[in-house]
Structure 1
Amino acid sequence: MARFRCAACSRDGECEYDGKDHRCPLCGSPDVVFALAIEELPDEVLDSINSVEPLDDHRDEEDR
């Protein structure tokens, strides 16, 4: 299940998200934002996230 919030109809809720339809499940507007659980992300996205090198932290010890 994915959470969604629509700017057009001002509603939010949960829906099944298949990754193909990027419209509000209630009004059909394309002005919608989906929030997916990490388990629902495609393997390609997870592989990309896992391949990113961590940032070096160049802060001085005094700043910590």
Structure 2
Amino acid sequence: MTIELNIPNMACAACCETITKAVMKIDPTATVQANPKTKQVKIETQAAQTAIESAITAAGYQVS
């Protein structure tokens, strides 16, 4: 499943890495493409979208 999220407060490569690590805790086989310029994250995962969004929120980022 592909999940595309907007993360308004993702600003840099470190933010992307933090978000990627949060997603990988939920699904270690996930593929994460994060772009701080567009504020978009594209995730290929088998995990539920709600679980992914919760992990990103817990890492300190807003999901919209």
Give the greater-gyration-radius structure (CA): 1
TM-score (norm 2): 0.33
Q: Which has the higher helix share?
A: 2
**Greater relative contact order (CA < 8 Å, ≥ 6 in sequence):** 2
TM-score (norm 1): 0.33
